[in-house]
Chains A and B, each alone.
Chain A
Amino acid sequence: MSAFRDRFNRLRGSVGAEAEGAVPAAVEIHTPEQILDGAPAGEAPEAAAPPTSDHAVPEQTALPEWEPYGVRLVRHEAGEFLLKETRFPITHRHGIHAFTEWTAAAPSLAAFHGDELVIGPDPCSADEMQENPPVPHDVLFLDLETTGLGVGAGNVPFMLGISYFEGNEYVVRQSLIRHPAEERAMLADLKDRLPQFRYLVTYNGRTFDWPLVQSRFILNGFGSRVWEPLHLDFLHPSRTIWRNTLVSCKLSRVEEERLGVFRQDDLPGSEAPGRYFAYLADGNPEPLADVFRHNEIDMLSLAALAIRFGHLLAGHIGQEVPVPTEPEELVRTGLWLEKMGAVASAEPLLHSVRGLDHAPPSVWNRLAERDKRLGLWEEAVSLWRKSAAAAEQTGIPSTEAHIELSMYFEHRTKEISFALAYARAALELALQHPLSGRANSKRRKEIDALRHRIDRLVRKAAKS
C-alpha cells in the first residue's frame, strides 16, 4: 500500500507531501460502520432485517450515541438508516405565519400551472391541477443535504428531509445515512411514502433536489419513474417578486426579510458536507446536530413560504400577508399574480402602483410595458412620462421610457418633433452618467443606437 503511495508521489514529484496524508497511528478511529454492533460494515442489514409485510411500519430502535439528538435507528426491509421525526402542532408559528393558515392557503396554489412552473410529465397536468387543487394533506415538502454540488452521479444526499401535514400536526422526517451503503434503504423508505402525495414543494428543487432524488433512484436500481408529482418550486416565483428588492433570493434571506424568521447560530449550508465527512471519519454524531437543525428550519420555512404564496394567490394581501411597502415589490407582485391568472388579487396592487407619487423609473417602466402589451396606450404614455421625469430628476441613466416615448410619437402619433426631443433627452441622460465611458460596451452600444435614432429622426423631420 505505501509502496503505491511512494510511486504515486514520485510521479507527482512531491516527495515531501508524503507525511501529510498518512493516518496518525496513535489515534484509534471508529468509522460509523465499525460502531454498528461490530458487524461487518455494509453487509449487516439484510440478515438483521425482521420479516415485514408490505405496509408494515419500519421498526425503530434507540441507539445510545444518537439518543441525545432524538435520532433513532430504522430497520427497513431494504436495510437500516437513521431517522429523526419531529411533530409540530398545527398551531405552531414559524415567523409571521402559523401552520393553521395552511388549510386556507393550499387550494389556491393550483394557480401554479403555466408550462414553466410545473414539472409535469404530460401537458394535461395543469388542468388536472386546476380541477384537483392541493388539499392540505397531499403535499410533500422536500429538502436535501448533499456531499457536493450539482446533480452528477457522485453527489450523495446524506440527509433527506421530508415533511407533510398529518392530522393536526406538521411532521418533519429527517433521514440520515451512517455510510453510503445505507442510501438504498433510505430511498426505499421514501419510495414507500411517495404514493400518498400528489404535490411536491421545494425551493430550487426543480433543478437540484428533485432531479437528484430521481438520479439516486436510478443509481439504486429503483428505476426512473418512481413518482411523477405536480411540482411547486418556489425559487422561480421568489426571484420574480424579490429580485430587485432583496440582496439575494436564498431561502434564508427570504425568510428573514419576508417571513419573519430569524435563524440563530445557523450552520451555513455550504458547511454541511464538511460536517458529514467529519462524522464519516470518526463516527461521532455531534457535528451533525447543527445539520439536523439547519435542515429542520428549511423544512419549516418551506411550509411557511407555501402558505405565503397560497395567501398571495388567494387575494389575502392586507390580511394574512402585509402589503409590500417597496414600489418595486408591489409592481412585481401584481404582475406576477396577473400572470398566474389571479387577476382579482393583482388588480388592487397595480392600482396602488399607479397612485404612487414617487417611484424609481424601473417601476413605471415595468407597468407601462404591461399596458403597452394590452394596448392601453394612454396609461402607458402617462407612466412613461412619470418614468422619464423620474430619470431626469434623479440622474438614473434609464433611457427606456424616453425611447418608448420617442417611438410612440414617431410611429403612433407621427409627431416627429416630440420623438426627436425625447431621443435627444435620452442621449443627454446616457452621456451625463459617469459610467457612460468607453469601457462599458453595453452603454457604448446604447449610445450609438441613440445617435443613429436621432440622425434618422432629423432626416425624417427635414423631409416632412
Chain B
Amino acid sequence: MNRWTGRASDLDEWLEELKQEPELMDNVTHWHTIPPREARTAPLPEDLDPQLADALRSRGVDELYVHQSLAYRAVREGKHVVAVTPTASGKTMCYNLPVLQSLLENDDGRALYMFPTKALAQDQVAELQKLADLMGAPIKTHTYDGDTPPTVRQAIRNAGHIVVTNPDMLHSAILPHHTKWVKLFENIRYIVIDELHAYRGVFGSHVANVIRRLKRICKFYGSSPQFICASATIDNPQEHAERLIGESVALVNDNGAPMGEKHFVFYNPPVVNEQLGIRRSSVLETRKLAGMLLKQGVQTIVFARSRVRVELLLTYLQELVKDKIGDRTIRGYRGGYLPKLRREIERGLRNGEIRGVVSTNALELGIDIGQLQACVLNGYPGTVASTWQQSGRAGRRQTSSVTFMVASSNPLDQYIIQNPDFFFNRPPERALIHPDNLLILIDHVKCAAYELPFQAGEQFGSETLEDMLEFLVEEKVLHRSGSRWYWMEQSFPAHGISLRSAAQENFIIIDLSEGSRVLGEVDRFSAPTLIHEEAIYIHEGVQYQVEKLDYAEKKAYVREVDVDYYTDANLAVELKVLHADKERVSGEIVRTYGEVTVNAKATIFKKIRLRTHENIGSGPIHLPEEELHTSGYWFAFSEEAAAGKGTNEMQCALLGIANVLVHIAPIYLMCDPLDIRVVPQVKAVHTQRPTIYFYDRYPGGIGLSERLFEVHDELLTRAKRLIQHCTCLSGCPACVGPIEEVGLLGKTQALKLLEEAGAGR
C-alpha cells in the first residue's frame, strides 16, 4: 500500500486487503479462485503459406494455441467445425486461418461470414484486412449490410473475397437476389458463423431456416461450402451447431489459451428487513464495489441488466470519482448509443484511456475492447453462459483479475448466490431452437420458393414439404407446373418476415407529446395488458398514458404524463389441452407434455399509487381475446397430496410454487424469462386436479416446455431447496413472493405441498 495515495500496488495486494475487512466480507457468500493456466501451443501448421506465416510472426504469433491448431486441421480435412472457447482465447483465428490459407491457394475462392450484429461485422473486417495487408495479398474483405452505400454494393458482389454480413441481410437482400451474387455462390468455399450461441429461440429457429435456404442456393450454383462455427461456452455446442446448419460437425473445445489467476466473488447485499426479507439495493452495493475498484485505478466493467440501471449506475459512478479522475474516463455503453460513439468508447477501452464502463449485455458479444481487470455484475445475468461471457471481459493472460457478482433480491439471483456449487459445477445452458415450428417453417418455404422453384422430392425441414407446397398453392401463393412449384404472387415475401421479433405482428407505440415519434414496440400477446387505453406505459423512466389503441392497425398512441400511479391489468387466462404427447409419473405428481391453446382476455385494470401501492381506481378493458396455440408442459398433484387442503390454502401454495418456478426455469433454458409462462390452477379442467402449467409464449412452441418436462424432477428439487434456504420468515420476493400475494402462510404451504407430493428429492 502506498501511504500517500491509499492505493494498493497491484490487484492481488488489494484483494488481500479486502479479505481483512469484515464489514465487506460478511456479505461475501463465496470466494472462488481459479488458478492461472499455462498456454498450450502447437507449431504453425506445416502447410501454411509462407506469406501467411510471416504475417503472423510479424504480429508476434510464432505458434498457435492448441484449439486454433485443431480447428485448422479439422477444416483442412474438409469437416464442418464448431469451435468453443471462452472470451479472449483467440477464437477468430480458428476460422480466419483456414479461410485465408484457402484464399491464398485459390484466388477465385469466396467466403461468407455471418455475425449477429453489424458492429461485430465491422470489427472483423478491420481485423482481416490488417492480416491481408501484412501479407500484401490482394484479398478483399467487405461488410455487406444496411449501411453499405449502394454505389459500392455491385463491386462487393463481384469482387469481395470475404463478404461479412448478418442473417437479416442474408434473408432479405442477398438470398432473394442471388442472381446478382453468381460469383460468390459459384465459388463459395466457407461459411463462417460466429457467436453461434446468439442464434437460439425464435431468432435461432429463423436463422436455421435462412441457412437451409442458403444451402439450397449454393447447391443450385454447384457449390457445397464448409461451415466453420464459433461459439461461447454452452452446454450443447455440437448439437446446436448441427441443428442450426443441418450437417454433422466436428467439435473443437480444447482451449489452449493462457489465463492469469481469476477471482470470482459472490456478494449478497445485507438484509435490512429480516421479516420481509428485504435486502439492501444491489445498485447501491454495485456502486460501492465498482467505486472502490475505480479508485484503485483498476480498469473495470460493470454489467447491468437494463438500460435504466446502466444510466443510473453511470451517474452514481461518475459522481463518486469526480474529484479523483477526469470526467470522460467513465462511460456508459448500451443499445441506443450511436455507432460512432460506441466505436469511440471501444477504442478508449482498448487503449486504456477509459477506466470504467457501465454496459448492458451489449458488450457481452465479441466486440473488441481489449481485456479489463475487474468486472462487477449487477445481478445474475440470467444464464450461466452469459455470466461466464461477461466475467470473461475481465481476465488477462498474465495478471490476475476479479469478478464480483452482486445479487439482486429476485429468486433466481438468490438461488445462485446461495448455491455457488450449482454455478461452478454446472455446464452452461443448452441453446434450444425449433426450426420446424410450423409458422416459422412456412414463412421460409415461401421465401425459398421465391428464390428457386421447388422440385418434387426436395427436402426442407422435417415437415412433409409437398403438403406445405400444396397448401400454398391453394392459398394462391405458389403455382404448380408438373413436378415443380413456382412463386406466383406479386409480393416480396422476405419483407413481411422479421427474424428477430418473437411474434410477427408487434404493436408500435407512438408518442404524440411532440409531433409523433415511435417510442417502442410491444408484442401482440403483451399488448392487451400493457397498452390498453388509459394504461400508464413507462419508457426510460418516463410515464406515458395510452390515449388510443388502434387494435386493427396495431398502433398505440400515447402522451407523456406525470401521475403518481401505475396501472396493472388483470388477464383472464383459459388453458385448453389439445393433445398430450408424453406422460410420466414421479411421486404424487403426474406430468405431461403436449399441445395447448391459451385464450387470454384482459378484463379490468387497476390504478395503483406509487410507493404506497394502494388501489385508487379501476376501469374495464374492451379488447378481443387473444388465442395462442403452442406447446406446454404441466404437472398435477394427486388427490392424496391435495387431501385436507382448502381451496384457499391450495391457491396460495400453487401460486408460491409457480412464483419460484418461473424464476428458476431459465436456469435450464437459454431464453428470455418472458418466453415462458406459468399458470397455476387449483382445479384444472383437463386434469381435474391442482395443476401448474408452463407454456412457450410463441405460436407452435420453440422447445422450452419440452426441455422443462425432461428436467422436471431437478426443477422441483431446486424450487424446494430455494424455499427451504430462504432466510425470510413467511415469503418474500426472493422466494414464493411477498406476503401480500401469497398470504401469511404461503411459504409453509408451498413447501408442505411439495414435500407431501414427494416432489424432487
A interface residues (Cβ-Cβ under 8 A, vs B): 1, 4-5, 7-8, 10-13, 21-23, 33, 40-43, 147-154, 156, 179-181, 211, 214-215, 218-219, 224, 273, 277, 280-281
List the 5 closest A-B pairs by CB distance, nearest first.
Answer: A42-B482, A154-B450, A215-B179, A154-B487, A180-B486
B481 touches A179 (CB 8 A): yes
Which residues of B have CB within 8 Å of A211?
180
Q: How far is the CA of A22 from the CA of B486 in the complex (A)?
A: 20
A224 touches B182 (CB 8 A): yes
* Contact of A153 (CB < 8 Å), options: B450, B468, B484, B628: B450
B479 touches A153 (CB 8 A): no
Q: A5-B471, A21-B475, A214-B179 are in contact. Are A149 and B492 (CB under 8 A)?
A: yes
Which residues of A have CB within 8 Å of B179?
153, 214-215, 218-219, 224
Which residues of A have CB within 8 Å of B450?
152-154
Which residues of A have CB within 8 Å of B491?
148
**Which residues of B700-743 are within 8 A (CB) of A?**
700
Which residues of A have CB within 8 Å of B479?
179-180, 280
- Jot down 25 A-B pairs with beta carbons below 8 A, ordered by A: A1-B470, A8-B439, A10-B629, A11-B629, A12-B439, A12-B699, A13-B627, A33-B481, A33-B482, A42-B484, A147-B490, A148-B489, A148-B492, A150-B492, A152-B492, A153-B178, A153-B179, A154-B449, A154-B493, A156-B486, A179-B481, A180-B479, A180-B481, A224-B179, A224-B182
Asked if B106 is an interface residue, CB under 8 A from chain A, the answer is: no
Asked if B483 is an interface residue, CB under 8 A from chain A, the answer is: yes
* Contact of A13 (CB < 8 Å), options: B180, B482, B699: B699
Which residues of B have CB within 8 Å of A149?
490, 492
Extra contacts besides A10-B597, A179-B486 (11): CB < 8 Å: A7-B438, A11-B700, A13-B699, A40-B482, A148-B491, A154-B176, A156-B486, A156-B487, A277-B488, A280-B479, A280-B488
* Contact of A4 (CB < 8 Å), options: B452, B471, B488, B489: B471
B interface residues (Cβ-Cβ under 8 A, vs A): 176-180, 182, 438-439, 442, 449-453, 467-468, 470-471, 474-476, 479, 481-484, 486-493, 597, 626-629, 699-700
Which residues of A have CB within 8 Å of B442?
8
What is the chain A residue whose CB lies nearest that of B628?
Answer: A13
Which residues of B have CB within 8 Å of A181?
481-482, 484, 486
A4 touches B178 (CB 8 A): no
Q: How far is the CA of A214 from the CA of B493 in the complex (A)?
A: 22
What is the chain B residue whose CB lies nearest that of A39?
Answer: B482
What is the chain A residue whose CB lies nearest that of B595?
Answer: A10
Give B205 Cβ to nearest chain A Cβ, in Å: 14
Give B478 Cβ to nearest chain A Cβ, in Å: 10
B438 touches A8 (CB 8 A): yes
Q: How far is the CA of A42 from the CA of B484 in the complex (A)?
A: 8
Q: How far is the CA of A147 from the CA of B487 in the complex (A)?
A: 9
With a 10 A CB-CB cut-off, give which of B438, B452, B470, B488 has the most chain A CB atoms.
Answer: B488
With a 10 A CB-CB cut-off, give which of A4, A21, A179 has the most chain B CB atoms.
Answer: A4
Q: How far is the CA of A5 from the CA of B438 in the complex (A)?
A: 11
Give A157 Cβ to nearest chain B Cβ, in Å: 13
Q: How far is the CA of A40 from the CA of B470 in the complex (A)?
A: 17
Which residues of A have CB within 8 Å of B597?
10
A41 touches B467 (CB 8 A): no
Which residues of B have CB within 8 Å of A152?
176-177, 450, 492
Give A193 Cβ to nearest chain B Cβ, in Å: 21
Q: How far is the CA of A211 from the CA of B157 in the complex (A)?
A: 14
B471 touches A1 (CB 8 A): yes
Q: How far is the CA of A234 from the CA of B667 in the complex (A)?
A: 64
Q: How far is the CA of A4 from the CA of B490 in the complex (A)?
A: 24
A148 touches B490 (CB 8 A): yes
A153 touches B490 (CB 8 A): no
What is the chain A residue whose CB lies nearest that of B490?
Answer: A148
A13 touches B486 (CB 8 A): no
Which residues of A have CB within 8 Å of B180?
211, 215
Q: How far is the CA of A41 from the CA of B483 in the complex (A)?
A: 8
Which residues of B have CB within 8 Å of A281?
476
Secondary structure at the B interface, as helix, strand, loop or mixed, is mixed
Q: A214-B179, A219-B452, A273-B490 are in contact. Are A11 and B481 (CB under 8 A)?
A: no
Q: How far is the CA of A98 from the CA of B487 in the complex (A)?
A: 41
B474 touches A22 (CB 8 A): yes
Q: How far is the CA of A10 from the CA of B595 in the complex (A)?
A: 11
Which residues of B have CB within 8 Å of A4?
467-468, 471
Q: How far is the CA of A4 from the CA of B467 in the complex (A)?
A: 7
Which residues of A have CB within 8 Å of B699?
11-13
Which residues of B have CB within 8 Å of A214?
179
Give A413 Cβ to nearest chain B Cβ, in Å: 40
Which residues of B have CB within 8 Å of A10?
597, 629
Give A402 Cβ to nearest chain B Cβ, in Å: 32
* Contact of B452 (CB < 8 Å), options: A153, A224, A280: A153
Give A288 Cβ to nearest chain B Cβ, in Å: 15
Q: A1-B470, A4-B468, A13-B627 are in contact. Are A154 and B492 (CB under 8 A)?
A: yes
Q: How far is the CA of A8 from the CA of B477 in the complex (A)?
A: 15
Which residues of B have CB within 8 Å of A23?
474
A43 touches B470 (CB 8 A): no
What is the chain A residue whose CB lies nearest that of B464?
Answer: A4
Q: How far is the CA of A13 from the CA of B600 in the complex (A)?
A: 12
Q: How far is the CA of A149 from the CA of B483 in the complex (A)?
A: 26
Which residues of A have CB within 8 Å of B629?
10-11, 13
What is the chain B residue whose CB lies nearest that of A148?
Answer: B490
Which residues of B have CB within 8 Å of A42?
481-484
Which residues of A have CB within 8 Å of B470?
1
B177 touches A151 (CB 8 A): yes
A21 touches B176 (CB 8 A): no
Q: How far is the CA of A381 from the CA of B576 in the complex (A)?
A: 83
* Contact of A154 (CB < 8 Å), options: B438, B451, B468, B476: B451
What is the chain B residue whose CB lies nearest that of A33?
Answer: B481
Which residues of B have CB within 8 Å of A156?
486-488
Which residues of B have CB within 8 Å of A5?
471, 474
Q: How far is the CA of A10 from the CA of B453 in the complex (A)?
A: 28
Give B187 Cβ to nearest chain A Cβ, in Å: 13
Which residues of A have CB within 8 Å of B628?
13
What is the chain B residue whose CB lies nearest that of A218?
Answer: B179
Give B471 Cβ to nearest chain A Cβ, in Å: 5
Q: How far is the CA of A214 from the CA of B179 in the complex (A)?
A: 8
Which residues of A have CB within 8 Å of B453?
180
Q: How far is the CA of A42 from the CA of B470 in the complex (A)?
A: 17
Which residues of B have CB within 8 Å of A179?
479, 481, 486
B471 touches A180 (CB 8 A): no
Which residues of A have CB within 8 Å of B483?
42-43
Which residues of A have CB within 8 Å of B490?
147-149, 273
What is the chain A residue whose CB lies nearest that of B515?
Answer: A439
Which residues of A have CB within 8 Å of B488?
147, 156, 180, 277, 280
Give A68 Cβ to nearest chain B Cβ, in Å: 25
What is the chain B residue whose CB lies nearest that of A281?
Answer: B476
* Contact of B177 (CB < 8 Å), options: A147, A153, A224, A280: A153
Q: How far is the CA of A10 from the CA of B629 in the complex (A)?
A: 6
Give B169 Cβ to nearest chain A Cβ, in Å: 14
Which residues of B have CB within 8 Å of A273?
490
Give B213 Cβ to nearest chain A Cβ, in Å: 11
Q: How far is the CA of A8 from the CA of B629 in the complex (A)?
A: 10
Q: How far is the CA of A225 from the CA of B482 in the complex (A)?
A: 29
What is the chain B residue whose CB lies nearest that of A14?
Answer: B627
Which residues of B have CB within 8 Å of A12?
439, 699
What is the chain A residue whose CB lies nearest that of B177?
Answer: A152
Q: How far is the CA of A210 from the CA of B666 in the complex (A)?
A: 54
What is the chain A residue whose CB lies nearest that of B221?
Answer: A218
Q: How far is the CA of A449 from the CA of B191 in the complex (A)?
A: 51
Which residues of A have CB within 8 Å of B178?
153
What is the chain A residue whose CB lies nearest that of B491?
Answer: A148
* Contact of B471 (CB < 8 Å), options: A8, A43, A280: A8
A21 touches B492 (CB 8 A): no
What is the chain B residue whose CB lies nearest that of A178?
Answer: B481
Q: How far is the CA of A141 from the CA of B247 in the complex (A)?
A: 48
Which residues of B have CB within 8 Å of A215?
179-180
